[in-house]
Amino acid sequence: MTGAATQVLALLALRWQMARGPGVRLAVCLAGLGAGWLLMLSLQAAGALEPAALETAAALAPEAFLGFAILALIAPLTAAGGEVVPPEQLVAFPVRPQAQFLGALMLAPLNLVWVVQLLVLGVEVSSLTLGGNLAAGALTAAVFVLFATVLGQALAWTVVGLRETRAGRRVALLAGAAVVATALAVVHSGAGQATLDHAPTRLVVRAVVAGGAGDLGTWAGVSAALLLATAVVALTGLRACAWALRRTGGTGAPGDARDLRRRRPRPSALRELVALDRASVWRAPALRRGGLVLALLPGVAAAGARVPWSSLAVLPGLVAAGSGLLFGINAFALDGSGATWLASLPVPPALVVRAKLLVLTETVLGAVVLAATTGALRAPAGPTTAELVAVVAAALACTAVVVATGLHLSVAAPHRADLRGPRDAIAPPGALAVASVRLSLPTALTGLLVGAGGAGPWWLPPLLAAGPLALSAVSLRTSLGRWEDPVVRGRVVQVVANG
């Protein structure tokens, strides 16, 4: 394990040297310091809460811990980007499987949703231990966070190994379908609250409360059990990672070897380029898996929580940001090594970027509409006209913000991404973390702003959405103008084709 840790440190140093400039390094340092500062504030937040809010926070603590666990399990399966350095760049170096597992584990915090959930847990721990031993409760929560994160990585590597063979892919598909079917059945039967009442995270919450109250027996027992479970899961994950990397057949190999039927020609060059981009998204295992989860999970969660129409306008922002992270922040990387060939085709450059915009827009808007529709089906009451208009306006505004931001990042900061392996990402870990902030904050603010207009007259939400739509249109026009510059276009093609 010592050798693996040394290799991880060397890979992190290599990734640090690969940063493009001092600005990137400064941003990473400031982001880490900012996250630590916010965590400290969250652990002290209970003192500033009203009694009613404090009681609500304590009552929702088991659900908050359960939500973090679900996120820690799902994120490694869908988000990809689990390697410090892409595997194709390490072919000549004897990197141990243990180093790859530890590296993926260390990159887990480079996820805005993971950090936000951690801050929520900080507020919950502060509420549960108010006036008591905060350190004891925080220690139990930290061990739980470590356990859930390690378990998610171990499960992800197990799925990677299973998917190296046809039988394994069927097992993984059946298991995923069974989980989705069970979630839908629980939501449809109305047994969601009863299921939450028996969640295992209630034991963790009791341990946090016991630690804050000085009941060291209960606190020590649960904390020690979590620590032991973390060690067992870590050893299992190390073996699963080594097993997955030893498997023959490769996820990419069957796709390269199978016969493909020639597609019929499209009636125009634009439609041909759009079809090519759609196929490029679907051929990448990580993008395909992430897209399917984004199409199902947010809507199921909203339906299970029975989100009212007054709060449903916030959902489009969250879903749009996640959809944009699939490939929108580096859309030209879909072309891969074929970017040079595509650039040589006798088509106007504007058609290429228009095709990318169409595919990105339909991906983001499709996920938003599906999630909002699913959540609306289980809303506790019917919407008013203003609330319905607010959801539609928020969906359009958040989609526009994500598409405009994605095109700007794709032109200004392209990256090479092969997208052949099951854990490949559209961009390096640091770039993904920065992009998640740049997508999530504006869309969340837009959703909150437009959603607040649902409490007023019906014309107020479209009026509030007009600002983000206008700014997005200006940003799109600027990015399209930059793409027309042959120097900029040549740089993008060179980077995504050759690195």
Q: In this structure, which amino acid lies at residue 312? A: L
Q: How far is CA 47 from the centre of its chain?
A: 32
Residue 75 tokens, joined:
């994120």
Residue 195 tokens, joined:
């299921």
> Closest Cα to residue 102, out of 226, 9, 16, 227?
9
Contact 387, 454 (CB under 8 A): yes
- Give the Å distances, CA to CA, from 215 to 30, 220, 323: 38, 9, 45
> Closest Cα to residue 339, out of 496, 484, 499, 482?
496
CA distance 235 to 339: 42
CA distance 184 to 319: 19
pLDDT of 409 reads 92
pLDDT of 233 reads 94
What is the rounded radius of gyration, in angstroms, for the C-alpha atoms of the chain?
23
CA 77, 81, 84, 89 dihedral sign is positive
pLDDT of 7 reads 82
pLDDT of 236 reads 93
Contact 391, 372 (CB under 8 A): yes
- Give the Å distances, CA to CA, from 375 to 195, 311, 380, 393: 19, 10, 10, 16
Maximum Cα interatomic distance, the chain, rounded to a whole number of Å: 75
Contact 444, 402 (CB under 8 A): no
Residues ≥6 apart with Cβ < 8 Å to 205: 61, 62, 65, 128
pLDDT of 479 reads 93
Contact 192, 202 (CB under 8 A): no
pLDDT of 91 reads 66
Q: In this structure, which amino acid lies at residue 468? A: P
pLDDT of 300 reads 66
Contact 19, 25 (CB under 8 A): yes
Residues ≥6 apart with Cβ < 8 Å to 346: none
Q: Is 23 helix (H, G, I), strand (E, B) or coil?
A: helix
Contact 447, 465 (CB under 8 A): no
The pLDDT tens digits of the residues spanning 98-133 come to: 888 888 888 877 776 778 788 888 888 888 888 788
CA distance 291 to 222: 37
Q: Per-residue pLDDT for the chain (499 aa), expressed as one digit of tens each?
A: 567 788 888 877 777 777 666 666 777 777 778 878 888 888 887 777 777 777 777 788 888 888 888 888 887 876 555 566 666 666 667 778 888 888 888 887 777 677 878 888 888 888 888 878 888 889 999 999 999 999 998 998 888 888 778 888 888 888 877 887 777 777 667 666 677 667 788 899 899 988 888 888 888 999 999 999 999 999 999 999 888 888 754 444 444 456 667 778 888 888 888 888 888 888 877 787 777 777 677 766 666 666 777 778 888 888 888 888 888 899 998 888 888 888 888 888 888 899 999 999 999 998 888 888 887 777 777 788 888 899 899 999 999 999 999 999 999 989 888 777 767 778 887 778 788 888 888 898 898 888 888 888 889 989 999 999 999 999 999 999 999 999 999 999 898 888 6
Residue 447 has phi, psi (to 5 degrees) of -60, -40
Residues ≥6 apart with Cβ < 8 Å to 185: none
CA distance 61 to 474: 43
Alpha helix (H) residue ranges in 344-485:
349-377, 385-412, 429-452, 460-484
Contact 160, 244 (CB under 8 A): yes
CB-CB neighbours of 240 under 10 Å: 23
pLDDT of 251 reads 40
Contact 394, 447 (CB under 8 A): yes
CA distance 240 to 160: 9
Residue 456 tokens, joined:
């007023």
The pLDDT tens digits of the residues spanning 341-384 come to: 888 888 888 888 999 999 999 999 988 888 888 877 777 777 88
Contact 299, 375 (CB under 8 A): yes
CA distance 287 to 131: 47
